[in-house]
Structure 1
Amino acid sequence: MSTNVTVMRVGANEAAACVEALADVLIDCVEGGASVSFMWPLSRDKAIAFWRDVAHGVARGERVLLVAQGEDGEIVGTVQLILAQPENQPHRADVAKMLVHRKARRRGVAQQLMAAVDHAAREAARTVLVLDTVTGGDAERLYQRAGWERVGTVPKYALMPDGTFCATTFYHKQL
């Protein structure tokens, strides 16, 4: 089932203007148990500070920020393409913070975001993409359907928002 969402790349000014809405999505995902670098409870101030840093990274050309907006213009999802890589990896980018608000899940939003991240990577001349995700989570099926190849799993790589350990699985995609 697909929902009517528009996925768009946002520039530095738009990214700064989206900070509050992106904080809402991040807080919802962490509250829902997503292991995305933050612990629960996640304060609004910490979430806003994170997205302000992302907006600065967009302004510096270090990352691409994509957002999914519903018909009402509300941001319901996001993903980032991190372009800032070591000098010997100008062809590579990391995919990070794939987030979809719980109220918009299972409607094709994540698939649209992943297709848009592939497009943004091609535009940036990136041919190798890398990401990691919680082992056994719903996102693994999404990434596999989108053509990502599993590399391996690291036990106890991170913590879930409640403090329990989780394994992380790494994926790559060749464009």
Structure 2
Amino acid sequence: MTPAISPPSIVMMDGDEVTRRIDQFAAMLHVCVHDGASIGFIEPFPITEARAFWRDRVIPALNGGKRRLFAALDGDRVVGTVQLDTDTMPNQQHRAEISKLMVRPDCRRRGLARLLMMQAERSAHELGRSLITLDTRTGDGAEVLYLSLGFKAAGIIPDYARDPFSDHLSATTVMFKIL
């Protein structure tokens, strides 16, 4: 009899936990960018830059209470993540922004991105946020995911971000969801 495989778990992590697992987070970011993910980084993208992103940008925001991070764990391995940014101006305390949704290429097509997004949405609701915004490269598979989760396209900005592998500029779709 084959042993049952437990599904990955979705957990919220604080700055200390991300620090303990920084090598896993850096490796995941590194492999996602090298797989073509449009998440803000371009080639060449060494692992040291991936590590610096978590150390210098994410961990301070987590420690400052300005962001929540959710991770998909397969056993003890970080295989996906999403962040909920709540660092908004006083007139925007009703909203939050989704950023850096990523799943390791070898772990995709298992529903992890959907589970991560659903947890981020629950967290936004718990925080009293009634609007979630995000942006995604126009035409990416993530755009289809967001639409299936009830997000609506607010518009498209042409030439918004550079392709990770070339000088080509891609459009981005700005999306929102009212909770």
Q: TM-score range by the shorter chain?
A: over 0.9
Give the aligned residue type for 2:133.
V
The match for 2:104 is 101
State whether structure 2 residue 105 is matched by structure 1 residue 140: no
How many correspondences in the alignment? 172
Q: TM-score with structure 2 length normalisation?
A: 0.93
Matched residue of 2:124: which SS?
helix
CA shift digits 1:29-75 (9 cap, x unpaired): 110111111002211111111111201110100100110001x2111
Question: Aligned partners of 1:11 and 1:94: how far apart in 2?
Answer: 18
State whether structure 2 residue 38 is matched by structure 1 residue 35: yes
Deviation at 1:20, TM superposition (A): 1.1
Matches within 5 A, 1:83-122: 83-122=86-125
Bigger relative contact order (CA 8 A; separation at least 6): 1
- Identify which of 162, 169, 172 aligns with 2:173: 169
Question: Aligned partners of 1:111 and 1:76: how far apart in 2?
Answer: 13
Deviation at 1:12, TM superposition (A): 2.1
Matched residue of 1:84: which SS?
coil
Give the aligned residue type for 1:66.
F
State whether structure 2 residue 70 is matched by structure 1 residue 69: no
Deviation at 1:16, TM superposition (A): 1.4
CA shift digits 1:107-153 (9 cap, x unpaired): 10001001101111112111110000000000011001111011111
Deviation at 1:18, TM superposition (A): 2.1
Q: Which ranges in structure 2 are unaligned for 5 or more consecutive residues?
A: 1-5
Q: TM-score with structure 1 length normalisation?
A: 0.95
C-alpha contact (below 8 Å) 1:25/1:77 kept by paired residues: yes
The match for 1:82 is 85
Matched residue of 2:114: which SS?
helix
Give the aligned residue type for 1:51.
W
C-alpha contact (below 8 Å) 1:31/1:41 kept by paired residues: no
Deviation at 1:7, TM superposition (A): 0.5
Rg comparison, structure with higher value = 2
Matched residue of 1:112: which SS?
helix
How much is the aligned-residue C-alpha RMSD, in angstroms? Answer: 1.0
- Identify which of 146, 152, 157 aligns with 2:160: 157
C-alpha contact (below 8 Å) 1:131/1:171 kept by paired residues: yes
C-alpha contact (below 8 Å) 1:15/1:58 kept by paired residues: no
C-alpha contact (below 8 Å) 2:18/2:25 kept by paired residues: no
User: Sequence identity, in percent?
Assistant: 37
State whether structure 2 residue 14 is matched by structure 1 residue 5: no
